[in-house]
Amino acid sequence: MTTQNAITWPERYLPGTGDNFVSNEVVVAGLSAAQVWPLLTDTSRWEGYYDNVADISFPAGDGPVLSQGVHFSFGTFGFPPLDAAVVEFQHPGEGTPGRLSWTAKQEGTPDEKLDVLHAWLVEDLPVGRVRVLTQETQIGRPAAELAAQRPNPMLNGHQAWLDGLVGAARNS
């Protein structure tokens, strides 16, 4: 029997309590967490395998590699650049999943405000497999509008991110 790890959720972003929540996962053979992790944590690589991200910047001069506490901004899903901060960062290791989470916020009127937690888990599984799980909770009217669309653009967008990440890892 194999036990899989789960995302660590702060209470504010608990799945099912916000306006939009999606969960995407891939399990693939022939890759390891060590191969996937650098492509996920180095934001200079994102646009090479994911076309729904742009205008990545580091106002405090950090980056492009993410780590605990790093502040950055990026555009996605047609939103102006969101202000983001890494709130959980753990490298994958033997028996330990990689964990990456950031909050992202858009200020403005009540119609514009958006508050997000985007979390990633990257873990090695038996028989030479890797599992990559990404989940996101969004709070705010823009999130509710995304959730009302069919299919949910965030669900498809995050699947494209996973597919691109796996493809990039296979090609590196």
Structural domain spans, the chain = 19-171
Q: Write the single-letter amino acid at 167.
A: G
Q: Write the single-letter amino acid at 59.
A: P
Q: What is the pLDDT of residue 2?
A: 64
Taking only the tens of pLDDT, the chain with its 172 residues reads 567 899 999 999 999 999 999 999 999 999 999 999 999 999 999 999 999 999 999 999 999 999 999 999 999 988 889 999 999 999 999 999 999 999 999 999 999 999 999 999 999 999 999 999 999 999 999 999 999 999 999 999 999 999 999 999 999 8
State the Cα–Cα distance between residues 149 and 19, nearest whole angstrom: 12
Phi/psi for 142 (5° steps) reads: -60, -35
CATH number for the domain running over 19-171: 3.30.530.20
Rounded (5°) CA angle 10-12-14: 70
Q: Which residues contact 41 (CB under 8 A, 6 or more apart)?
A: 65, 66, 67, 89, 100
